Structure 1
Amino acid sequence: MSRRKKKKHHEEEVGEAWLLPYADILTLLLALFIVLFSMSSIDAAKFAAMSAAFSENLSGGTGILNFPSPTQENGELSPDEQEKREKEENEVNDQVAAEKVEKLELQTIQQKVNTYIQTENLGDMLETSLTDEGLLLTIRDNVLFASGSADVRPQDLQVANEISELLVMDPPRNIIISGHTDNVPISNPRFESNWELSVMRAINFMKIILKNENLDPSWFSAKGFGEFEPIASNDSEEGRSKNRRVEVLILPRSSN
């Protein structure tokens, strides 16, 4: 009889031993739920401090509270992220504002050039347009050069000189002068291709422009595209005439 009673008493002691750690777990869970309930009313800095303290005290810094702030999970930003976003937004706004100012300045230059064209009755020779690249002045085929030649005609030197005056700007801008031709093969001992002809036309016109002492050559460059950038069909004489041209591209200051 005594043996059975002793065994039963031992089983009861073992069965009650789990109550103490269970109570500890419940206490920790209660503390966790209190923190989770209250964190909607605390800021990110306080939550981070509380999380670090609980994690260190309860589980050596690797506990259940080591996770991102709920304010970030709900779509809100940390102070550093908010500052970064505001900086990026300000940069974008500044860029947009600068582009608007630049567009207005190019429009002012265009009006100046258009006034000159109208005053000198050069509408059939020159035209301007605002493009994504900048302000484009197109000099048509009936100005500057004789057929197959890259030398500026003496009777057109005055027009070239007056164009150079229109390119004097403060502050200065980068300017690209480009030559273009139609697709009719050139038969000329001086030039082996339309590409060479277009390059020399751009360079020779630029030389005339840069005789103006108020222009800095470092802001200028020349290109030749031959027949490879047509603006009209080469199937008609009218289209080929449009493709034979010299272009002066005034770039935005933001691209300098």
Structure 2
Amino acid sequence: MSRRHKSEHHEEHADESWLIPYADLLTLLLALFIVLYAMNSVDSKKFEDMSRAFNVALDSGVGVLDNTSVVSNGEDLDRDDKNQTKPEDATTDAKRNELMKQEQQELEDLKKQIDKYIQTNGLTTQLDTKLNQSQLMITISDNALFPSGSSTVKPEARILAKAIANMLQPYSDYEIVVSGHTDNEPISTAEFQSNWDLSSSRAIRFMDVLLLNKNLNPKLFSAIGYGEYRPVDTNDTALGRSKNRRVEVSIIRKFMDATKAQEIPATPKA
């Protein structure tokens, strides 16, 4: 009777050995989710650190929840990567800033030369200069360069082009873009079928005169025609249309600072 009672009492305790592999499985799943979460923004170095910490946790039997440094270390590494400035990066930035200052000074000097030429030769109504964060632009009225409806450069305009070329000569490593613009009045002649043709031809013909100076590098020059599609004034008045008919010579910056979008105003006209 006593033996039977003892056996029944023993059978009341269920076998709980399955809890051990079940707990291990939950631990592994939790560790996996933590690793996947960390990998969302981790680089190769942080992934190696995470993997090493993960292996240590499993091999040593330490619970993943006890090893909270796995997560905190990943966050610390991420902060360090964002805040750390490499020496070579600092050197590169310093050199770039120095080159930008040098370029700014060069373009300001060139602008002063051109403005002085404009003032000296009484061309303030025909030429203008503007220096901004992308380029130094020389704007020339079309009536100072070409006869109406033509792309033949006037003799006096050839003198102007040669003078500009001479001033560009010390800055021959800059890219130069010559662009032609018209008003919106249509043109259709034996020579020009549209304003596209006229504006492109005028840009090319003026560029040809600039490149008579053999000290300038033709590889850095390009010409483009915009037709009527980039006006600077209204086409509803004769004065506005005259402003839209122009050639622009743009000296393109090699270094641009996107944080300084404000435009440096042109020298006031006398």
TM-score, L = length of structure 1: 0.72
Query: Which residue pairs with 1:164 in the alignment?
Result: 165
- For the 8 Å contact 2:54–2:70, the answer to whether it is kept is no
- For the 8 Å contact 1:168–1:215, the answer to whether it is kept is yes
Following the alignment from structure 1 to structure 2, what is the Cα–Cα distance between the partners of residues 123 and 148?
23
- For the 8 Å contact 1:48–1:69, the answer to whether it is kept is no
- For the 8 Å contact 2:53–2:70, the answer to whether it is kept is no
Higher RCO structure, 1 or 2 (CA under 8 Å, sep 6+): 2
Indicate whether 1:107 and 2:112 are aligned. no
Q: Give per-residue Cα distances to partners, 1:22-70, cap 9 Å, x unaligned.
A: 9xx9xxxxxxxxxxxxxxxxxx9999866643421328xxx62687734
Following the alignment from structure 1 to structure 2, what is the Cα–Cα distance between the partners of residues 85 and 139?
49
Query: Which residue pairs with 2:3 in the alignment?
Result: 3
Give the drift of 1:116: 2.0
Give the drift of 1:132: 4.3
- For the 8 Å contact 2:172–2:215, the answer to whether it is kept is no
Instruction: Please give the secondary structure, in 2, of the residue aligned with 1:129.
Output: strand
Query: Which residue pairs with 2:195 in the alignment?
Result: 194
Question: For residue 81 of structure 2, what is the amino acid of its counterpart?
Answer: Q
TM-score, L = length of structure 2: 0.68
Question: For residue 85 of structure 2, what is the amino acid of its counterpart?
Answer: E
Give the drift of 1:93: 4.5
Following the alignment from structure 1 to structure 2, what is the Cα–Cα distance between the partners of residues 83 and 201?
52
Following the alignment from structure 1 to structure 2, what is the Cα–Cα distance between the partners of residues 10 and 187?
110
Query: Which residue pairs with 2:232 in the alignment?
Result: 231
Give the drift of 1:178: 0.7
Query: Which residue pairs with 1:55 in the alignment?
Result: 58
Give the drift of 1:192: 1.3
Give the drift of 1:254: 3.7
Give the drift of 1:103: 3.5
% same residue: 39
Give the drift of 1:160: 1.3
Pair 70,214 (structure 1): closer, same or farther in 2 beyond 3 Å: same
Indicate whether 1:82 and 2:85 are aligned. no
Pair 49,228 (structure 1): closer, same or farther in 2 beyond 3 Å: closer
Give the drift of 1:111: 2.0
Pair 50,158 (structure 1): closer, same or farther in 2 beyond 3 Å: closer
- For the 8 Å contact 2:137–2:250, the answer to whether it is kept is yes
- Structure number with larger C-alpha Rg: 1
Indicate whether 1:221 and 2:217 are aligned. no
Q: CA RMSD in A?
A: 3.9
Question: Unaligned stretches of 5+ in structure 1?
Answer: 26-43
Indicate whether 1:207 and 2:204 are aligned. no
Query: Which residue pairs with 1:182 in the alignment?
Result: 183
Following the alignment from structure 1 to structure 2, what is the Cα–Cα distance between the partners of residues 212 and 184?
34
Question: For residue 126 of structure 2, what is the amino acid of its counterpart?
Answer: M
Question: Unaligned stretches of 5+ in structure 2?
Answer: 24-45, 257-270
